[in-house]
Amino acid sequence: MSEASPAKAYALHLGVIALLFALSFVLPAYHHGLLARIMVLAVFAMGYNMLFGYVGLLSLGHAMFFSAGLYGAGLTVYHFGWSVPAAFAAGLACGALLALAIGLLALRTSGVAFMIVTMMFAQVFYLVILYFAAWTGGDQGLVVPQPARILVLGSASLDLTNPTVRYMSALALFSIVLLVTLAIVRSRYGRVLVAIRENEGRTKMLGYDTFSNKLAAVVVSGAICAASGAAYALLFGYVGSSFASVQYSILPLLWVLLGGIATTLGPLIGTLFMYYVVDVTSGYTSAYLLIVGIALILLVLFFPKGILGTIRQRWLGWLP
Amino acid sequence: MHFGPHLLLAALEGLVTSAVLALTALGLSLVFGVMRVVNVAHGEFFMLGAVLAWAISTAISDHPALGFLAALVLAPLIVGLIALVAERLVLRRLNYNPEATIVATIGMLYIIQQLALTFYGPEARPVEAPFSYRILLPWFGYSGYKLSIIAASAFLLIATWLVLTRTKIGLVMRATQYDRETAQAFGIPVERVYAGVFAFGAMLAAVAAVLIVPISQAHYLMGQDPLLLSFIVVIIGGLGSLRGTVVAAVLIGLSDGIISVFFSPTLAKIIATLLVAMVLVFRPQGLFGTSSR
Amino acid sequence: MTDKNGFFDLSKTSFTRRTALKGLAAGAGLAVAPGFVRYSQAQSSAPIKIGFQSHRTGIGAAYGRWYEKTTAAAVKAINDAGGINGRPVEVIIEDDGTDPGRGAEVVGKFATQHKTDIVYGTLFSHVVIGSAPAAGEAKIPYFVVSEGHHVASTKLNRYVFQPGITDVKSQIQSMAPWIAANAGKKVTQIFPDFAFGYDHRDYLPPALKAQGAEVIAQIAIPPTESSFTKYFPQIPAETEVIYHVMVGPAVLTFVKELGEFYGSNRPQLFGFIDSLEATDINSPGLEFLDGSHFWEGSPRYAQPDDSPAQKAYRAAVGIDDNGAAVGDPKDVSTAAHMFGCWETLYVVKKAMEDAGYKGPEDRTKLVEATEALTEFAEGPEHPQGPKTFNGKIHQCFGIQNISKVEGGRLNVVHKTKIEDGLYEPEGDYTTQAL
């Protein structure tokens, strides 16, 4: 990774963004809509990868950060009629604050205990959503009204329910997060995180405050996941407790593992892959979960580093 | 109802929960302690036990007790066999790498769940209890079968404890748990121990499910809750500690029963989960575990 | 395919082009009859495509299967009689995993990939609410068979309809007079601690109060609970009626434990059959229910006074006199709800014919035509009974049945009137832009 030439890496990422932009004009309507959703969820996976891939902390509770963003944005629009940018900021802030609080507690543990602690905090978050059903709509969830989902910028207004606007908004969010992650990963801070992953004791001995570095990573990760959740609420118009369930904590883990741990583009590849496996196989059989399960086991047996990780290992050593 | 009887009922209910939980969690704890594998599919082995119990007891429909006894013997054996195959085909090839095995067992979870849905169906199906004696207390009636679950579970736990502490098998297992490389150097067939532990862990979950299925039907999604609760028990009890697992199971089972007397159930679950999380944060080795290696 | 799910894969079995054309030929034979004149004017014979959002996996799977069976039967009946506007009906099924996120994606898939004319058939309310925005944005009519109050609450959008089954608020309201008059005045409610339960929690007390009875305790139980005994001490001793509406796989446990708790010395029991849909009433442990009463949308067991339409409907769907699949007495149907699929499809047929529907460009006409409907007469198209339809809130209202468990079957002892279940509309969809 250290041998990578920065130009090559940035060119690749800009190329991917340009490709996604171009795809907007050629894709059939269905795949266009699906890709918009995939990009938003890939942001969720990128946030997860930030912590899991680069710091080596395996969380089983990231659904709470995603849904903090989802509810932070959704509820402020629904109950207080906030504008789109304000609601998005509210979602982001909710996620970052929650991540700070959870990080302060959970980072006292490591390994399996960290997994279980994050899972339990996420379970608490999920139950709290159910408990305050009068505000959150409980398990049924709430529909964010269509007229509220219009982004007003000066005299122009963008209707987020329009497919093209939605795709471009998703792409914008995805691009920003992708470039930010790339910058973080290549920065001095990113290298400290990797050092913590590889050997926390030694990093500490070298004089780094590993706790606050890890805490910062949890907050960044939580904020990115919250951004994805807030975008989901505003772009797709539904908030519901199922997004806070354990299943949505396991999904980003799968996406990242499939795409490639600690690769910047892996989360996108993994999300894309999983979505299309489910989508295509569900057309042939209702037993698509079986195929997903088998695919997972085969991947972990034969491509343990995920799709991009394997490519990096075998052919393109410079991939970030 | 008055407070005393109410509390008694809650405690009885909590004990039944604890009994089943202790068996399930012990299976998870052994696999985790000896192999360092987080088996996410553990709840599905539980579900398989219940589903097989239904299949077996339906096939043998002469007398409910006969069908149930057959299920109690056969269902865990079949589940153990399935676990053995899974261990051979997948976990061993992954060299028991912690992260890879998590993903692989998530894959198993999906596969087992889907197969159960396809071949067993989406309905909840009942299994008749071997006997239906209703114990009449002055304030309320209580199922005699439920009390027998507590006894059966206690018996199985003691048997497992004897095997682990008093037999050569137990010694070999503990040696492997303590230090895999050294055990191998001393000629212990580590791979066979692992295979045996994985199968035994799954069988414990299956037994627990057969015991509980006459009072809570077999359903293909029933593995989720026991998995989460077992995780909690294993962590609170400390890794690989049998005593800790049992105490934690009783603690969690009882608190689940009794807290709901005082609070609204959702709020009770929030408080209980938060408390357990805090225990983990401030005492990561569990309440009864010694320091982790 | 040997599995049960595969059996219902409509796209591969009963809905080939050939059977559709056969149906068309049969329709042509009827064209001389006065009511069928308009078929001869059909310009296109391309099938009308209905996207069926089905719960094949996830918590709703037990219900999804029977919804698919009923839909298959209704579509066959419609096609055999000449289809809609002379065009055969084709059903395309997508599984939503009973998940609102996936549900929204499935609606998108129907609208943009399969290019279906409408989306139809959803049962679980969180999936309906999660999918509604996608339907509204794609401007594709979305006909649900969910019984939730969400459509009638006017919190969704103008493209969502529930014309085939009465919503739960109306059901509850129409039960109150019978409960107060026949079961008892002091009622304790036991309900799941989530949205479906909240409808009962919120709408029953005022309805009972209006009848001079009262709710003396409300016990909410978390949906994930698998054991219930510990909640029973909260039931006040003076309770005359226990009103229970548990749903999900643990309901059998609920009834059995209630039985162990009370023995033979129990208060009156009144429940919604949702608790025991797809479950044999003669399962071990359910003896306790003998003599208790249930709400049923449509009766599970054949009744002595069944109309010819009801008999024909049961035969077409393939359920026997006990409400189980013909040939498999263990495969109990979801009879109390699944009639809604049959009736919804006939409402779609009626609205499409009223609108002169030709293709997706006429979707707004279809919405307006559906809103213009006011009542549905009892008959082959509406075998459950007569209904009225309120186009402003997109909801139908029908009669309800109260059945008693006697001798291992459910016998209808009371039928409510439509007026019993009417309430003030909470809004008006027709003011929304199309």
Alpha-carbon distance C319 to nearest alpha carbon in chain A (angstroms): 24
Closest-CA residue of C relative to B123 is: C62
Whether residues A117 and B94 touch (CB distance < 8 A) is answered with no
Which residue of B121, B140, B269 is in closest CB contact with C222? B269
Q: Please, are residues C93 and A281 in contact by the beta-carbon 8 Å criterion?
A: no
Whether residues C108 and A33 touch (CB distance < 8 A) is answered with yes
Contact residues, chain A, for C95 at CB < 8 Å: 282, 286, 288
Contact residues, chain C, for A243 at CB < 8 Å: 101
CA gap C99, C86 in Å, rounded: 35
pLDDT tier at C5, thresholds 50, 70, 90: very low
pLDDT of residue C338 exceeding 90: yes
Query: What does B211-255 look like in DSSP terms, one character per residue?
Result: HHTTTS-B-TTTTHHHHHHHHHHHHHH-TT-HHHHHHHHHHHHHH
b/e string for B136-150 if b means 16 or more Cβ within 10 A? eeeebbbbebbbbbb
pLDDT of residue C32 exceeding 50: no
Hey, which residues 220-239 in chain B have their CB within 8 Å of chain A? 224, 228, 231-232, 235
Average pLDDT over residues A218-247: 94
Q: Please report how many Cα atoms fall inside a 13 Å half-sphere around the Cα of residue B205, on the Cβ side.
A: 37
pLDDT of residue A40 exceeding 60: yes
CA gap C277, C147 in Å, rounded: 14
Q: What is the DSSP code (8-state) at residue C183?
A: I
Evaluate the CA torsion angle C7, C10, C14, C16 in order and state its sign.
Answer: negative
The residue with tokens 């059909």 is: C42
Provide the domain count of chain A. Answer: 1
Angle CA A196–A202–A205, to nearest 5: 110
In percent, the amount of chain C with pLDDT more than 70 equals 89
Whether residues B134 and C278 touch (CB distance < 8 A) is answered with no
pLDDT tens digits for range A131-152: 898 899 888 889 998 888 888 8
Alpha-carbon distance A236 to nearest alpha carbon in chain C (angstroms): 7
Neighbours of chain A (3+ CB pairs under 8 A): B, C
Give me the pLDDT at residue C247, please: 73
Asked if B174 reaches chain C (Cβ–Cβ under 8 Å), the answer is no
Return the structure tokens found at B227: 């998995």
pLDDT tens digits for range A79-95: 999 999 999 999 999 99
Return the structure tokens found at C290: 């003998």
Torsion-angle region of residue B269: left (phi > 0), alpha (psi -120 to 50) or beta?
A: alpha
pLDDT of residue C23 exceeding 70: no
Regarding predicted confidence, which is higher, B172 or C194? Answer: B172
Contact residues, chain C, for A238 at CB < 8 Å: 100-101, 104, 129-130, 132-133
CA gap C71, C67 in Å, rounded: 6
pLDDT tier at C17, thresholds 50, 70, 90: very low
What are the φ and ψ backbone dihedral angles of A238, each rounded to 5 degrees?
-140, 135
Q: Please report how many Cα atoms fall inside a 13 Å half-sphere around the Cα of residue A37, on the Cβ side.
A: 20
Asked if B88 reaches chain A (Cβ–Cβ under 8 Å), the answer is no
Contact residues, chain B, for A304 at CB < 8 Å: 94, 97, 100
Closest CA to A71 of A280, A291, A226: A226
Which residue of A37, A238, A285 is in closest CB contact with C130? A238
pLDDT tens digits for range C218-242: 998 877 777 888 888 889 989 999 9
Sheet containing strand C268-272, strands side by side: C214-221, C186-192, C241-244, C268-272, C293-296, C401-406, C409-415
Which residue of C100, C133, C193 is in closest CB contact with A242? C100
Closest CA to C117 of C134, C139, C132, C145: C139
Alpha-carbon distance C253 to nearest alpha carbon in chain B (angstroms): 5
Mean pLDDT of chain C: 87
Alpha-carbon distance A308 to nearest alpha carbon in chain B (angstroms): 16
Hey, which residues 90-109 in chain B have their CB within 8 Å of chain A? 90, 93-94, 97, 99-100, 102-104, 106-109
- Regions in chain B scoring below 70 on pLDDT: 1, 239-240, 260, 286-293
CA gap B243, B251 in Å, rounded: 12
Contact residues, chain C, for B141 at CB < 8 Å: 260-263
Hey, which residues 59-78 in chain B have their CB within 8 Å of chain C? 64
pLDDT tens digits for range A204-217: 988 899 999 999 99
Q: Please, are residues C322 and C329 in contact by the beta-carbon 8 Å criterion?
A: yes
The residue with tokens 């549905």 is: C376
CA gap A214, B204 in Å, rounded: 39
Closest CA to C89 of C52, C64, C131: C52
H-run or E-run covering A158: strand A156-159
Whether residues B284 and A105 touch (CB distance < 8 A) is answered with no
Whether residues B270 and A128 touch (CB distance < 8 A) is answered with yes
Neighbours of chain B (3+ CB pairs under 8 A): A, C
CA gap C141, C159 in Å, rounded: 5
- The domain C168-296+399-421 is classified under which CATH number: 3.40.50.970, 3.40.50.2300, 3.20.20.70, 3.30.360.10? 3.40.50.2300
Asked if B144 reaches chain C (Cβ–Cβ under 8 Å), the answer is no
Which residue of C221, C253, C284 is in closest CB contact with B216? C253
Mean pLDDT of chain A: 90
The residue with tokens 């442990």 is: C285
pLDDT of residue C129 exceeding 80: yes
Return the bridge partners of C389, or none. C396
Whether residues B109 and A293 touch (CB distance < 8 A) is answered with yes
pLDDT tens digits for range C260-283: 888 878 899 999 998 788 888 888
Closest CA to A275 of A112, A45, A76: A45
What is the interface pTM, i.e. ipTM, of the complex? Answer: 0.84
| Count of Cβ atoms closer than 10 Å to residue C33 Cβ | 8
pLDDT of residue C134 exceeding 80: yes
Give me the pLDDT at residue A4, please: 53
Alpha-carbon distance A230 to nearest alpha carbon in chain B (angstroms): 25
pLDDT of residue A275 exceeding 80: yes
SS3 C52: strand
Which contacts of C256-259 are long-range, i.e. CB under 8 A and separated by 24 or more positions? C256/B215, C256/C285, C256/C286, C256/C288, C257/B143, C257/B215, C257/C227, C257/C228, C257/C229, C257/C232, C258/C228, C258/C232, C258/C288, C259/C285, C259/C287, C259/C288
Contact residues, chain C, for B215 at CB < 8 Å: 227, 253, 256-257
Closest-CA residue of B relative to C247 is: B124
Average pLDDT over residues C46-73: 91
Whether residues C198 and A285 touch (CB distance < 8 A) is answered with no
Which residue of C4, C62, C230 is in closest CB contact with B260? C230
- Do the domain assignments include residue A121? yes
Which residue of B90, B104, B267 is in closest CB contact with A131? B267
What are the φ and ψ backbone dihedral angles of B90, each rounded to 5 degrees?
-120, -65
CA C328 to chain centre: 23
Asked if B281 reaches chain A (Cβ–Cβ under 8 Å), the answer is yes
Neighbours of chain C (3+ CB pairs under 8 A): A, B
Closest CA to A47 of A76, A27, A68, A28: A68
Contact residues, chain B, for C261 at CB < 8 Å: 140-142
pLDDT of residue C25 exceeding 60: no
Contact residues, chain C, for A279 at CB < 8 Å: 109
Closest-CA residue of C relative to B130 is: C284
Whether residues C252 and B269 touch (CB distance < 8 A) is answered with no
Asked if B221 reaches chain C (Cβ–Cβ under 8 Å), the answer is yes
Topology agreement, domain C4-166+335-398 and domain C168-296+399-421: yes
Q: Please, are residues A45 and A270 in contact by the beta-carbon 8 Å criterion?
A: yes
Whether residues B216 and C278 touch (CB distance < 8 A) is answered with no
The residue with tokens 């077409």 is: C316
Give the orientation angle of helix B242-262 with respect to helix B224-237, to 10 degrees: 120
Is the domain defined by C4-166+335-398 classed in CATH 3.40.50.2300? Answer: yes
As a whole number of angstroms, the longest Cα–Cα distance in chain B is: 63
Give me the helices (H) in B91-241, please: 98-119, 144-166, 168-178, 180-185, 190-212, 224-237
Q: Please, are residues C352 and C84 in contact by the beta-carbon 8 Å criterion?
A: yes
Return all residues near C237 (Cβ < 8 A) that are at least 6 apart: B1
CA A105 to chain centre: 22
Enumerate chain C positions whose Cβ falls within 8 A of a Cβ in B.
3-5, 57-59, 61-62, 64-65, 193, 220-222, 224-227, 229-233, 237, 249-253, 256-257, 260-263, 278-279, 283-285
What are the φ and ψ backbone dihedral angles of C245, each rounded to 5 degrees?
-140, 45
Return all residues near C67 (Cβ < 8 A) that are at least 6 apart: C54, C55, C121, C123, C145, C334, C338, C341
Q: Please, are residues C88 and C45 in contact by the beta-carbon 8 Å criterion?
A: yes
Return the structure tokens found at B136: 């009449």
Give the domain ranges of chain C: 4-166+335-398, 168-296+399-421
Q: Which domain holds residue A214?
A: 6-245
Q: What HEC string does C104-139 produce?
A: HHHHHHHHHHHCCCEEECCCCHHHHHHHHHHHHHHC
Q: Which of A9-23, A155-169, B170-184, C359-373 has the lowest mean pLDDT?
A: B170-184
What count of CB pairs under 8 Å joins A to C? 92
pLDDT tens digits for range A3-23: 456 788 889 999 999 999 999
Regarding predicted confidence, which is higher, C17 or A4? Answer: A4
Give me the pLDDT at residue A48, please: 97
pLDDT of residue C45 exceeding 90: no
Alpha-carbon distance C144 to nearest alpha carbon in chain A (angstroms): 15
